A and B are shown apart, each in its own frame.
Chain A
Amino acid sequence: QPVLTQSSSASASLGSSVKLTCTLSSGHSSYIIAWHQQQPGKAPRYLMKLEGSGSYNKGSGVPDRFSGSSSGADRYLTISNLQSEDEADYYCETWDSNNWVFGGGTKLTVL
């Protein structure tokens, strides 16, 4: 079963860009993942599905400022032109053999 590793926290300034990382465990580097955003006090929201090739498909209404990319076992979420509402927890997710797994989440602070 795959394991997803995320940094616990990240920070960046208003209007800048930030790149969050989700790393797949050994033997699972080709897996597709999904990114989710959870703003304080709210339910999670689906952002995108991201393949190992770097190809991604965003959910309905997700701003153009959000993009995805991949390198080996690493899956990235890049947020450009950071806004105050981007301050949130970000989770990656993957699945295998009818089991679903979430990373521990990254808490993003917008300075």
Chain B
Amino acid sequence: QVQLVESGGGLVKPGGSLRLSCAASGFTFSDYYMSWIRQAPGKGLEWVSYISSSSSYTNYADSVKGRFTISRDNAKNSLYLQMNSLRAEDTAVYYCARVSPEVDYWGQGTLVTVSS
């Protein structure tokens, strides 16, 4: 069965950096686009970024463009999100998701808290 397991969340100060990881299993990872989606406390879902199956194409929400970088390692069945220059408004649960092209599987999420 498809499994997506995020890790790397935690408490970070404003201006700091964090790297999220997502370990995928149960499907041929290299065949699928992947995305990161976040949810601020008590709020709705916000798409953050996507990456194509071979890493040729990426895109970002305007709110994170220039600060976040998505990447993947198909040999390790892993997806990453490097988050720099973090702000309080980046506080959220971050979900890893498989895209085909709709989101058809979600991870359980990892909480990122940006606070001094």
Contact indicator B59/A49 (Cβ below 8 Å): no
Is the C-beta of A15 less than 8 angstroms from some C-beta in chain B? no
Contacts of A58-111 to chain B: CB distance below 8 A:
59, 89, 91, 93, 95, 98-105
With beta carbons under 8 angstroms apart, the residue of A46, A99, A102, A104 that contacts B104 is A46
Residues of A within 8 A of B (CB): 32-34, 36, 43-46, 49, 59, 89, 91, 93, 95, 98-105
Contacts of B99 in A (CB 8 A): 100
Is the C-beta of B9 less than 8 angstroms from some C-beta in chain A? no
Contact indicator A34/B103 (Cβ below 8 Å): yes
Is the C-beta of B107 less than 8 angstroms from some C-beta in chain A? yes
Contact indicator B44/A49 (Cβ below 8 Å): no
Contact indicator B104/A100 (Cβ below 8 Å): no
Q: In the complex, A36→B44 CA distance in Å?
A: 12
Q: In the complex, A103→B44 CA distance in Å?
A: 8
